[in-house]
Amino acid sequence: MKTLKVIRIIGVIVFGGATLYFLFEGDYINAGLQFLLFLLLGLIPLLFYNKNK
pLDDT beyond 90 at 29: yes
Task: Give the separation between CA 45 and CA 11, rounded to whole angstroms.
Answer: 11
Q: Find, among 46, 47, 22, the residue nearest to 33 by Cα.
A: 22
pLDDT score recorded for residue 1: 67
pLDDT score recorded for residue 51: 66
pLDDT score recorded for residue 24: 94
pTM of the full predicted structure?
A: 0.73
Task: Give the separation between CA 48 and CA 34, rounded to whole angstroms.
Answer: 20
